Amino acid sequence: MLAVIDTNILVSALWSRNGAPARILSLIISGELIPCYDYRILSEYKEVLTRPKFKFTSGEVSALIDWIVYNGRSVVAEPLNVDCTDAADKKFYEVAKFCGAKLITGNLKHFPKDKAVMTVSEFLERYNLG
C-alpha cells in the first residue's frame, strides 16, 4: 500500500519507539507500506529531523532517509489548486493525490477534508494494522 508520511509522524516514531507512529515506521521497514515522496518532502525530513532539539543522531536520520529513498517511490507531483492551512504541507497532499496514496499525518486540520488523509490511529484501525 502506498502512503505519504507527514514529517510529524517520523519525529514521533523516532521519539517513542513503542507508539502508534512507530508502528507506521515498522510497516514501512517491513515493506507493507511503500512511502511516496518528492525532493521537497525529503528536504523537509532532513531539515526537521536534524534539528538539535530532537537529538536524533545523524546516523539515525541518514539511515531512515536512505531507507525511504531506496524502498519508496519518488515522484514529481503536479501542483494542485487546493488550499492547505499550512502552505508548507501542501507538498504532502500533492504527492499523495498524484500517487493515489494515503496521507498519514498528525495535523488533519492542515489539509483539505479528504478520506485519504488520516491520522495514524485512523489508518491503523481502518486497515486492521494496529
* pLDDT bucket at 128, cuts 50 / 70 / 90: confident
Question: What domain count does the chain have?
Answer: 1
Domain ranges, residue 79: 2-126
pLDDT digits (tens, 9 = 90+) for 11-27: 999 998 889 999 999 99
Report whether 17 contacts 118 (CB < 8 A): no
Report whether 105 contacts 92 (CB < 8 A): yes
pTM: 0.94
- Check residue 130 and give its pLDDT: 67
- Check residue 86 and give its pLDDT: 87
- Check residue 119 and give its pLDDT: 97
Report whether 77 contacts 93 (CB < 8 A): no
Percent of the chain's residues with pLDDT above 90: 89
The burial class, CB within 10 Å (0-12 / 13-18 / 19+), for 48 is middle
- Check residue 75 and give its pLDDT: 97
Number of residues that make up the chain = 130
pLDDT digits (tens, 9 = 90+) for 55-87: 999 999 999 999 999 999 999 999 999 988 888
Mean residue pLDDT of the chain comes to: 95
- Check residue 123 and give its pLDDT: 96
Segment 92-103 mean pLDDT: 98
Residue 57 to residue 71: CA distance in whole angstroms: 21
CATH classification of the domain holding 102: 3.40.50.1010
| Sequence-distant (≥ 6) Cβ neighbours of residue 100 within 8 angstroms | 2
**How far, in whole angstroms, is CA 79 from its chain's centroid?**
18
Residue 112 to residue 26: CA distance in whole angstroms: 27
